[in-house]
């Protein structure tokens, strides 16, 4: 995740080189500003307009609002922590050993189960927008982390292929 010579000794030199250069790049600083801006904007919304919008929701929707705002906050805390560790390594404020210790605490979680589209559709638009932005940012960071660590994500099974193979087996077309 950070200075990978300590995190993954088996990582190839390309991943290490990418990690070292990326955290010092303008692209990382843009990502950092975007992430921290999203954290600030979300906090402002939840403490201001979001509070008023939440109070106006029907009881059954307010529970979904509370759940989604907690998920959003959790996701953004993970993102902010990851970004801050990366910046600390880039600026020499944290050693690779310290970053490795933080890596065990700061993991970008897998996406959480989202509410049904009917439930989500009843939530305030601004909360939906912030949630969607945070999920996209989380996905980008997860992909970056994979590139930085040299870890290949296992190929996801192709659901269409599975269906075709099942159909072919039923029709006796598989060899």
Say how far apart CA 159 and CA 157 lie, in whole Å.
6
Domains parsed from the chain with CATH numbers: 4-171 (1.10.8.930)
CB distance 4 to 89 below 8 Å? no
Say how far apart CA 72 and CA 68 lie, in whole Å.
6
State the average pLDDT over residues 66-91. 92
Fill in the DSSP letter of residue 123: S
Task: Give the range with max mean pLDDT: 5-14, 47-56, 109-118.
Answer: 47-56
Judge whether residue 18 has pLDDT over 90.
no
Enter the pTM of the model: 0.71
Number of H helices, E strands in the chain: 9, 0
pLDDT at 10: 44
Select the more confidently predicted residue: 114 or 130: 130
């Amino acid at each position: 995740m950070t200075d990978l010579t300590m995190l993954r000794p088996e990582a190839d030199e390309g991943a290490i080189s990418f990690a070292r250069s990326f955290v010092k790049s303008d692209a990382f600083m843009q990502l950092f500003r975007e992430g921290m801006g999203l954290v600030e904007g979300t906090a402002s919304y939840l403490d201001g307009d979001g509070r008023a919008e939440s109070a106006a929701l029907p009881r059954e929707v307010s529970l979904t609002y509370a759940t989604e705002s907690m998920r959003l906050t959790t996701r953004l805390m993970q993102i902010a922590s990851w970004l801050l560790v990366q910046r600390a390594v880039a600026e020499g404020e944290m050693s690779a050993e310290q970053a490795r210790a933080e890596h065990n605490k700061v993991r970008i979680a897998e996406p959480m189960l989202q509410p049904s589209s009917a439930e989500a559709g009843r939530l305030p638009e601004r909360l939906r927008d912030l949630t969607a932005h945070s999920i996209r940012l989380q996905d980008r960071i997860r992909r970056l982390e994979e590139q930085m660590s040299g870890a290949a994500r296992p190929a996801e099974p192709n659901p269409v292929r599975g269906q075709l193979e099942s159909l072919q087996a039923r029709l006796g077309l598989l060899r």
